[in-house]
Amino acid sequence: MKAFETGNYTNLFAEYGIPQEEIDKKLKRIFETFFYGSEEERIFHPVGEDMGYLEDTGNNDARTEGMSYGMMYCVQMNMKEEFDRIWKWAKTYMYMEDGFNEGYYAWSCQTNGTRNANGPAPDGEEFFAMSLLFASHRWGDGEGIFNYSHEAKEILSTMVHKGSSERVGAPMFNNDNHYILFVPGSDFTDASYHLPHFYELFALWAYEEDRPFFKEAARASREYLAKACHPVTGLNPEYGEFDGSPMSRSLRWTNFHHDYFYSDSYRTVANIALDYEWFGIDVGQVDAVRRQQEFILEKEKEDAIGIYKVDGEFVEKGVLHPVGLMATTAQGALATTGELQKTWVMKFWNMELRDGVRRYYDNCLFLFAFLALSGNYRIW
């Protein structure tokens, strides 16, 4: 029986002998640094009396990715004021009230609120909806935009039904295979956007007419993840075809190889492991975590951490987000056992937040990993 049924969440730090007092102390310290550290440390920026944003420090913007992550951190840590600040900023500046993408959130804004784009990124909507539902259950619904459950259900409805006869635009899910899409209406996906543990909960708490869709999406996503992760290395590409193979087609906005194991890809094993911790369902995707943990350990011994094709073929040494890579791989310990699990738990315990201009993405993933491995990433 897993956490959804028991309400018990694995604290792997404690299981490997770290005193709870030390775990709590470190958890408090990393959150204080992330939200209220110096200008060279923090990611969160309060604005006025009732708003705030999380900055992508490498790109000097605010993204739905980071904003929605911030809301999830806050609801997990019972930080209601910060949660409401972030949500109000997102609703004020990112929410699109008209046009083709009406009902979605602009994926990137300048830190003054000016939009850099008028398109959404589906991972932001997923985390917005889940954090809002958790907020509703933990704190209760308020008025207007703080009627958390209503706002969440509207996001989920829009994600599924955009492009129907009543709604202009395109959905964020493929209505035939139930896969989350890289962008609305696209014909490929991003494995790290597949969150079956969220879909299981959306199937309980979305508008009633949408619940069967999300239940099927949970099943389909687990099967997709089993196909998308390489059978030897466990690695997955950033973008994938619907059959699970790496998506190597050219894209008009980039020349980069998104069929490689790279930044987006890192989140996948962390998501697989959290899904397993919450629901314990394995259709073949869970062993990818072990395979990736073993692969990364071997490459670390060889001083060859870098960019790889999913079959493990070396492309280039060095990665843009080294802390993020190690943190997400460590979070996979929720789905492994024995000496491999212990190695990654202790390796992560001895890590610290990243500093410098590229700290945003790495530290976002670090916070999720610390919450998960300490038993504090919970269903509310």
Give catalytic residues, as residue numbers: 65, 264
CB neighbour list of residue 48: distance below 8 Å, 6 or more residues apart? none
Angle at 121 between CA 248 and CA 49, to 5 degrees: 150
How does DSSP classify residue 296?
Answer: H
- In the chain, helix, strand, coil percent, each to 5? 50, 10, 40
Helix pair 122-139, 148-161: axis angle to 10 deg: 150
Longest Cα pair distance anywhere in the chain, in angstroms? 58
Distance CA 63, CA 53 (A): 9
| Residue with the two structure tokens 């951190």 | 73
Angle at 347 between CA 341 and CA 43, to 5 degrees: 115
Q: Where are the alpha helices (DSSP H) in the chain?
A: 3-6, 12-15, 20-36, 64-76, 80-89, 122-139, 148-161, 196-205, 211-228, 267-279, 287-301, 322-331, 338-349, 359-373
